[in-house]
Amino acid sequence: MRQFLLLLLLLTLAAPALGGQAGELYASSATPKVELYTTSWCPYCKKAVNFFRSRGISFVEYDIEKDKQAARRKQLLDSRPGVPLAIINGNLVHGFSESLYLEALGK
């Protein structure tokens, strides 16, 4: 799992140097890959969950207060505090932003 996360992180960091090619590989996928790091009390996390559910976009949600491994993964991916953190097709999106979510989804 750690190797996968490191590879994901490297691809994310390398995407600008590759002219966006790594991100385009994710975007060309018919089904978007979405991971969402949340807490149960965060109102913006609830908005993020509703955003994906209302559009029928499947996602994996990790509550960083209930899942210590998820909290560690989030820390490896992004050292900034705060939730939600969405990883959409390999792109990190901090906070709740419909426009950034749509952009990462290629819409």
| SS3 state at 25 | helix
Residue 67: φ, ψ to 5°: -125, 100
Domain span at residue 39 reads: 2-105
Read off the pTM. Answer: 0.72
Question: Tell me, what CATH number does 49's domain have?
Answer: 3.40.30.10
Band of residue 23 on the pLDDT scale cut at 50, 70, 90: very low
Task: Please name the amino acid found at residue 69.
Answer: Q
Higher pLDDT, 62 or 27: 62
Lowest mean pLDDT among 18-22, 60-64, 87-91: 18-22
Higher pLDDT, 3 or 18: 3
What is the tally of structural domains in the chain?
1
* pLDDT tens sequence across 61-76: 999 999 999 999 999 9
Confirm if 23 and 15 have CB atoms less than 8 A apart: yes
